[in-house]
């Protein structure tokens, strides 16, 4: 997925990752493959987080970050995606969802505003 991110011009401004070993390993691999050399925040609260927890973490981001990559766990991220786009989508392991949000500040992030699923890639369908 890191190479796909590089190819599609989807380099994040920040990566937020769970502290679980598998998430940390995935984060490092993706960062390396996409050529990311920016800030990575390992956040213990992303492990076993509910939607409100993840929303709170995102709402606390500084506005200098336009694109955030969240590396976490299911069902948490699948539920977050569902809340943000107001539809159910499956996020298998190592999937990448690109969501466009109509906000000017992370503080404005609210599921009621609705986001748009721009694309969803799974490991078996990277193109």
Residue 91 falls within a domain, yes or no?
A: yes
Split into its structural domains, the chain has a count of: 1
Residue 101 lies in a domain: yes
Residue 66 in domain:
yes
d(CA 64, CA 61): 8
The residue segments making up the domain with residue 109 are: 2-121
CA gyration radius, the chain: 13
Q: What is the pLDDT of residue 111?
A: 83
Q: For residues 23 and 71, is the Cβ–Cβ distance under 8 A?
A: yes
pLDDT higher than threshold 70 for residue 55: yes
CA distance readout (Å), 96 to 1, 65, 108, 122: 7, 19, 23, 6
The string of pLDDT tens digits covering residues 86-110 is 999 999 999 999 999 999 999 999 9
| 127, part of any domain | no
CA separation, residue 48 to residues 19, 66, 93, 101, 111 (Å)? 11, 25, 16, 24, 20
Residue closest to 107 by CA, chosen among 64, 73, 54, 63: 63
126 domain-assigned: no
Residue 34: give its domain's CATH number.
3.40.50.1240
């Amino acid at each position: 997925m890191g190479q796909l991110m590089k190819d599609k011009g989807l380099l994040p401004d920040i990566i937020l990752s769970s502290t679980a070993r598998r998430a940390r390993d995935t984060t490092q691999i993706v960062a390396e493959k996409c050529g990311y050399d920016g800030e990575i925040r390992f956040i213990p609260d992303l492990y076993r987080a509910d939607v409100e927890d993840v929303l709170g973490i995102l709402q606390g981001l500084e506005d200098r970050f336009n694109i955030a990559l969240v590396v976490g766990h299911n069902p948490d991220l699948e539920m977050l995606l569902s809340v943000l786009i107001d539809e159910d989508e499956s996020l298998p392991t190592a999937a990448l969802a690109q969501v466009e949000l109509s906000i000017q500040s992370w503080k404005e992030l609210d599921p009621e505003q609705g986001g748009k699923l721009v694309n969803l890639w799974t490991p078996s369908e990277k193109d």
